Structure 1
Amino acid sequence: MSIDPTKDIISLSDVIKQVPQFAKKIPNVLSGLRHAYLRRPSTTCGLGWAFEKAVEKNPDGSALLYEDEQFSYTELNIWANQIADYFLSIGAKKGDVIAVMIENRPELVATVLGLAKIGVVSALVNTAQTSKVLSHSINLVKPFAVVIGEEVQQAVLDIQNDLQLAQDKFFWFADDDSSTSAPKPFTDLAQVSKTCRQDNPSATQEICGKDGLFYIYTSGTTGMPKAVIFNQNRWMLAYGTYGHVLNLDTDDVMYATLPLYHATGMVVCWCGVIAGGSALAIRRKFSKSNFWKDVQKFDASAIGYVGELCRYLLDCEPTPEERQHRVRKMIGNGMRSNIWHEFKERFGVEEVLELYASSEGNVGFSNIFNFENTVGFSPTPYAIIAFDKEKNEAIRDADGFCRKVKKGETGLLIGKITRRSPFDGYTDAKNNESVIMQDVLSTGDKYFNTGDLVRDIGFRHAQFVDRLGDTFRWKGENVSTTQVENIVSEYDKIAEAVVYGVEIPNTNGRAGMAAITLQDGKSLDDGDLASMVKAFKAELPAYAVPVFLRIQKHIETTGTFKYSKNKLKEQAFDPEQCQEKILVLLPGESAYCEVSNDVLNKINQGEYRF
């Protein structure tokens, strides 16, 4: 299906029409840009510095809301200082890494803030990880210590012997007041830090842009999760741009149910809150039935989102609460064009600050002019170049250079690597080589390959179209196909697996599908349909478990022995097109079943809520 080249095109006159609305933000935007760009490399900056500025601005105002708990800026700052002082007392120093694995609750926020104040890097571990993936993620960053919540202690205890960590460096927060003492080898961090110093550590004043802040895990394009370096400078860019464009103030409350081990929640939502001296309201896990009730409870004026969250809310039956609130703005990414206008109209939201960024990337877009159906405007140097989807490579001319697409066309988004837009990269330098393109538009230039197809809609605005390579997005998470392929292939009857994402009508992102071949002489019986699910769930987060299985006699490869995924994606889960047996894991079920014509029709008609 071709795209109308004139659809959603933005012109200078369109931007001029939006200027009166944008003009109200200009003082705040200019202040933010000063923080983002007009700093010397040695200037004190970062999360800890910015939070202390917010404490000065709004000492008694609410900083953090959770369930029935409320922490003022002063109270949260003291708590973070005590955690910082404790880790300094046991030898942690700037540049060390501590793996943090806690669900969305105040202990996570206080820990990350405390570590940021002393220059210790928080490795934000996905709380859904288990087994080999979890041990890989923790060992990858060579941590000084690990801090977990009681809610994930069993997953960590299961891999304790695989971790390259001293036994006295395991720390723990109770899940609630009724919890018992920390199990061995954990130390109760709340207990050992409660008598520590409450004043701001002097170390915060020694932190500058190049110093590390987070490791955020990304599936990348192959294999196990990769740890992306997110330094203080990148946080300041987000704080100075997204944070100030959002234009929150001390009476605002941002409600965020996104997992805080992802940059959208931890960086984008929180930096907007800190920039305004506002309150961050968090929930342990997203609940569509409680979403608007929580918005009312916390008196939220802004919300953080990803596209899947928006679709879930639209799927709900209308309630009085969904209009009885003061939310007028939202910030996030992945809002699909087919629900954008409907969402704003139904829930009374006036401003959608859609953005585009990646944990490892050097190019960002922000919808500062509040247009619909766009990731927004980018001030950073980038190009959208012609791309051959069949060959899976950028198109180069006879001289070896790439060509920028025309307005209205789709191409590969690449970010120019400059001093102002550096590529910080992954922990493993080898992973950086595959994402850097050289001699792209001129001899000697370097660009970061985002792996994303976007459409140029004019005036430095773009629309997100699709994600390339061996990663797809489902349930708000990036899924590495190689990681899933490795786990699926470990099942004793499966010889080989190819994993890819397929679209299901009325859903966001792509659901996981695995084309599998069986071991010689093996076949799948009814018992396998349940045991496969159990095996996959033991090794994979729920969002990465394949929704569909396609049973093949052999898997087609290209002349260079790469899997031919394009054809598999096109045929998806339609048994008639595939001419092979297709299995599906329906919502709420614990075993795969065959995709019959009746099941296929119900999937396509949206009767199952994946």
Structure 2
Amino acid sequence: MSDETSRTGVGLLDIAKQLPGFLSDAPVILRGLITGFGASPTAKTSIGKVFQERAEANKDKVFLKFEDQRITYGQANATVNRYASVLAAKGVGPGSVVGIMLRNSPDAVLLMLATVKCGAIAGMINYNQRGNVLAHSLGLLGAKVLVTESDFHEPVIECGADAELTKGLISVEELREQAVGQSTANPVGTSQILAKEKAFYIFTSGTTGLPKASVMTHYRWLRALGGFGGLGLRLNSSDTLYCCLPLYHNNALTVATSSALNAGAALALGKSFSASRFWDEVIKYDATAFIYIGEICGYLLNQPPKPTDRAHKVRVIAGNGLRPAIWDEFTSRFGIKRVCEFYAASEGNTGFVNVFNIDKTTGICPSPVVYVEYDLETGEPARGPDGRLRKVKRGEPGLLLSKVNNLQPFDGYTDKAASEKKLVRNAFKDGDVWFNTGDLMRSQGFAHAAFADRLGDTFRWKGENVATTEVEAALGADDQVEECTVYGVEVPGCGGRAGMASVQLRDGAEFDGARLAKAGYEHLPAYAVPLFIRIVPELAHTSTFKNQKVDLRKQGYSDEVKDPIYVLAGRDEGYVPFYPEYPAEVKDGKKPR
């Protein structure tokens, strides 16, 4: 199954066309490569050391923009060092953990930098967490100091976490007060930190269970600086990179922050994403680049056209999840010249970056990866009679595995058992080790690939694998659809799972079942067209805009669902209101016609 708007392959001509633009950025690329890829895991280099060097070279240039604040690199480094002195006085040092539970603000960035300058680990907590989920996250961190917004104190104290974990709780206002008069000198120990040491704990979204804390080392962060900042975004010191994603998200903490630091550019922070205010903020900060996730692009396209659509200076954007179906429309409407789409995972050890500005690709991966056959039921790689894995053909969706070695280590989670579950051993020969991304990708040639689906979201129907991302793109092509999410549901007596979509209609739209079915059949093979449609007033999202499918999948089309449900009667009739006999008719092959 393939979305007709997808790119099937990348050729030498595609790359050659983009080489002039790539080579013109040679100085920026070289700086990123030296900083990001020039050090081994045992080298004495770190995030804090790189920040100090950039601050020294760009003292009077603006580093952070937030609301009406403008903070230079020199001012930022002085504040970071004061915060580091406060942390050190509280016993924070190499290997300690500092919990950071702050909304987007300069303090969130500065405190993170202060923490890693101390040789400690910044535990970036999703400030939307409450109750047992928050208690679980705090338990994983075991932080010596926990810095929060003052209005987060109550949720922290009441979440049920061990009292020992909340002993070091202080507000960001208290941190500022305690920092007054502290030393502005760089901490002596910063220059001794090794690249292989831990820098951050980033929490997974926890949509299918309690969050896990993934480990980010200085080494991997610096490689991200070289890959995303040096090869991908390629900013210069006069640029401003706008980011409204939360700083507990790696797109903000790693991709945005490292890219700005690589160039000595400014990082403009939005408090949060707003589709109606997005371009106003971009213009206000004089931004020339921004960070996205695919859902943001969809929301922006759904906004009515307005003068600010092109009244900005943005020339390059970086992120993941810009769907091929809307790629051209998005870049054309908003005048975006370069898209640095990428693929990476917080806990992973590899990444793809669209270095050559080729449309509809996650880009190039220089490290060893393979695409293999998989077992949809277990979510594991499929092994042949000889016990080894089998690679898929180019263009076919395969489970992405990345080689684990000294230059491409797997840092995993704080939970060693959870880390081991992500590893595939003896895949192609005795003793080899690969990281299982859990993602399906299609090789496009010349080391490029396209994202296909999360393996946990893909389902099987009529003997065929159905990628939810492609079904969502097809239904989203119908202009009555504001947003949709697709998942598989069981039909009694049938093998596999049938497609079901929860659809949020655009404001003022009336559901047209015939038209939606037509959109499905125009873009998809018949087996992939969803049998069930649930019309919801609004789709629930994680704090990073991902659709939450778990509850929707569990509810299916059961009686407990009070939203309107429609079923696919056939190609001509389209979707009609649900009736109790429909599942049996599907089992008997009578529907859809």
Question: Counterpart in 1 of 2:412?
Answer: 425
Q: Deviations over 1:272-326 (max 9, x none)?
A: 0000111100111111111111111110000010001111111111121221111
8 Å contact from structure 1 (residues 584, 592) kept in 2: no
AA at the equivalent of 2:168: K
Of 195, 203, 206, the match for 2:181: 195
Question: Counterpart in 2 of 1:416?
Answer: 403
AA at the equivalent of 1:108: A
Q: Deviations over 1:310-345 (max 9, x none)?
A: 111111111212211111001111110011111111
Alpha-carbon deviation of 1:419?
0.8
Question: Counterpart in 1 of 2:588?
Answer: none
CA distance in 2, matches of 1:317, 1:32: 39
Q: Deviations over 1:431-457 (max 9, x none)?
A: 122111112122221100000000011
SS at match of 1:403: coil
**Map 1:77-88 → 2, pairs under 5 A:** 77-88=77-88
SS at match of 1:56: helix
AA at the equivalent of 2:259: G
Of 373, 380, 386, the match for 1:399: 386
AA at the equivalent of 1:240: G
Structure 1 unaligned residues grouped into runs of 5+: 175-187, 473-499, 516-551, 559-563, 606-610
Alpha-carbon deviation of 1:51?
1.1
**Map 1:526-565 → 2, pairs under 5 A:** none
**Map 1:159-178 → 2, pairs under 5 A:** 159=159, 161-165=160-164, 168-174=167-173
Q: Deviations over 1:351-397 (max 9, x none)?
A: 10011100101111000000011100001111011224356432322
Compute the TM-score of the two structures, normalised by the length of structure 2: 0.80
AA at the equivalent of 1:19: L
Q: Deviations over 1:49-68 (max 9, x none)?
A: 11111112211111001111
Is 1:290 aligned to 2:290, yes or no? no
CA distance in 2, matches of 1:325, 1:237: 31
Is 1:310 aligned to 2:297, yes or no? yes
Alpha-carbon deviation of 1:168?
4.4
Question: Counterpart in 1 of 2:506?
Answer: none
Alpha-carbon deviation of 1:510?
6.8
Structure 2 unaligned residues grouped into runs of 5+: 460-467, 504-512, 518-528, 541-559, 570-574, 577-593
Between 301-310 and 427-436, the greater mean CA deviation after superposition: 427-436
**Map 1:500-539 → 2, pairs under 5 A:** 503=472, 505-506=475-476, 511=485
AA at the equivalent of 1:437: V
Question: Counterpart in 1 of 2:100?
Answer: 100
Question: Counterpart in 1 of 2:118?
Answer: 118
Question: Counterpart in 1 of 2:497?
Answer: 567
Alpha-carbon deviation of 1:120?
1.2
Question: Counterpart in 1 of 2:215?
Answer: 229
Between 453-462 and 316-325, the greater mean CA deviation after superposition: 316-325
Question: Counterpart in 2 of 1:545?
Answer: none
Of 341, 344, 362, the match for 1:357: 344
**Map 1:32-51 → 2, pairs under 5 A:** 32-51=32-51
CA 1:40–1:583: 2 relative to 1, 3 Å: closer
Compute the TM-score of the two structures, normalised by the length of structure 1: 0.78
**Map 1:436-515 → 2, pairs under 5 A:** 436-469=423-456, 503=472, 505-506=475-476, 511=485
**Map 1:309-388 → 2, pairs under 5 A:** 309-388=296-375
Question: Counterpart in 1 of 2:56?
Answer: 56
8 Å contact from structure 1 (residues 220, 471) kept in 2: no
Alpha-carbon deviation of 1:28?
2.6
Is 1:156 aligned to 2:156, yes or no? yes
AA at the equivalent of 1:397: G
8 Å contact from structure 1 (residues 584, 593) kept in 2: no
CA distance in 1, matches of 2:86, 2:15: 51
8 Å contact from structure 1 (residues 102, 108) kept in 2: yes
SS at match of 1:311: helix
8 Å contact from structure 1 (residues 304, 332) kept in 2: yes
Q: Percent of counterpart pairs with the same letter?
A: 35
CA 1:40–1:364: 2 relative to 1, 3 Å: closer
CA 1:585–1:345: 2 relative to 1, 3 Å: closer
Between 222-231 and 126-135, the greater mean CA deviation after superposition: 222-231
CA distance in 2, matches of 1:208, 1:59: 25
CA 1:43–1:337: 2 relative to 1, 3 Å: same
Supply the RMSD in Å over aligned alpha carbons. Answer: 3.3
AA at the equivalent of 2:441: V
AA at the equivalent of 1:282: L
